[in-house]
Amino acid sequence: MPHKLPDPTQPAEWLRTARSDLALAQAGRPTADVLYEQLCFHAQQAAEKAVKAVLVARQVDFPKTHVIGELLKLVEREGVTIAGRVWEASDLTPYAGRARYPGSEEDIEEAEHRWAVELAEEVVKWAAGVVARSGEDRDRGPDDEA
């Protein structure tokens, strides 16, 4: 039986995958074999995909990039307020490559992992709110009051 492919034109699909990455990052280390670097990679991916969900909701084309700051600038150009610590998410960008190869950086400690997860949680929550409001904006007709 063929599976239905997720639709990348739907912001809900981007949020779904962002939440999956966030859940993996939040899961922590069930054993010492799990590296904090890889958990931080999932935190970065959660934030990146959440920001991309906002861009999809606003129907903004975006480049294939892992640079969260670049993506946030596109969001800001659309007139979306970047709330709270969301701009800090650009600090998660290095995790997109850091976990891929051994020896590229110092080992990540638990405190850094906690920080990355907390930041990713904020970005996903913010993005979900923006996406929800974007849907409301599309549902509102030109004669409806804001």
pLDDT of residue 114: 98
Which stretches within the chain are classed as H helix?
11-26, 36-57, 68-77, 95-98, 110-139
Q: Write down the residue that tokens 């640079």 correspond to.
A: 67
Domain-embedded: residue 146 = no
pTM (2 d.p.): 0.88
Is the dihedral angle over the CA atoms 14, 84, 110, 107 positive or is it negative?
positive
Domain-embedded: residue 143 = no
pLDDT of residue 104: 63
Q: What is the mean pLDDT of the chain?
A: 89
Angle at 143 between CA 141 and CA 146, to 5 degrees: 75
Rounded to an integer, the average pLDDT of 19-46 is: 95
Q: For 21, phi and psi rounded to 5 degrees?
A: -60, -40
pLDDT of residue 1: 65
Q: State CA 40 to chain mean position distance.
A: 12
pLDDT of residue 139: 44
Whether 56 and 135 have beta carbons less than 8 Å apart is answered as no
pLDDT of residue 144: 43
Domain-embedded: residue 40 = yes
Does 4 or 79 have the greater pLDDT score? 79
Domain-embedded: residue 145 = no
Rounded to an integer, the average pLDDT of 21-30 is: 96
Domain-embedded: residue 71 = yes
Domain-embedded: residue 81 = yes
Task: Decide if pLDDT at 138 tops 70.
Answer: no
Does 44 or 2 have the greater pLDDT score? 44
Domain-embedded: residue 75 = yes
State how far the Cα of 145 lies from the Cα of 64, in Å rounded to an integer.
Answer: 37
Q: What is the CATH number of the domain that holds 38?
A: 1.20.120.330
pLDDT tens figures, 87-133: 999 999 999 987 667 766 678 899 999 999 999 999 999 999 999 99
Torsion of CA 26, 30, 36, 40, to 10 degrees: -20
- CB atoms under 10 Å from CB of 128, counted, come to 18
Can you read off the two tokens belonging to residue 130? 């923006």
How many domains does the chain divide into?
Answer: 1
Q: Which domain holds residue 24?
A: 11-138
